[in-house]
Amino acid sequence: MPFLTNTSAGHPRRAALSDPGYQAFLILRTGFTVAPVLFGLDKFTNLLVDWPVYLAPWIDDIVPGSAQSAMYAVGAIEIVAGLLVAVAPRFGGWLVAAWLAGIIVNLLSIPGYYDIALRDFGLLLAAVALARLAAAHRTPPAR
C-alpha cells in the first residue's frame, strides 16, 4: 500500500491513518494539490481576483507579452506543481516551496503587498514540511 508507515500486522491502513504525522502529510498533500490547481486555473479566468495586478512592474518589463500573458504561464506552472504534489509529493513539495519563494520576491517588490508575502512565507514553510513528511511516508520498497 502506498505511503504507509507505522503499520501493524493485519491493519496497516488503519495504523497509518491513526498516525498524526501521516494525517499531517495527507492534509498538506491534499491542500497543496488542490490549491495550486484551482489558483492555476483561475489565472485563466480571473474569477477570484485580477491576477495581473500582483505582477511586479519590473517582472512585467522583462517577460514577453502582457501581464495577463505572464499569468497564463504562471497558471500552467501552478497546475503542474499541484499535479506533481499529487503524484510525487516528495518532489512536488520542494517545487511548490521554490515557486512560493519566487512569488514572495515578486510581492516584496510591490509596495502594499507585504502582508501577502508574509502569508506566502507561511505557505512556503508548510510546503517544506510536506516535502519532509513525504520523505518519511513514501512507499516502502517492494520485497
- Alpha-helical segments (H) within the chain: 12-17, 20-42, 57-62, 67-87, 89-108, 114-136
Task: Write out the chain's pLDDT in tens, 143 residues.
Answer: 444 444 444 455 565 778 899 999 999 999 999 999 999 999 999 999 999 999 999 999 999 999 999 999 999 999 999 999 999 999 999 999 999 999 999 999 999 999 999 999 999 999 999 999 999 987 544 44
| pTM of this structure | 0.83
Nearest to 124 by CA among 32, 10, 18, 58: 32
Nearest to 89 by CA among 22, 39, 17: 22
Q: What pLDDT does 79 receive?
A: 97
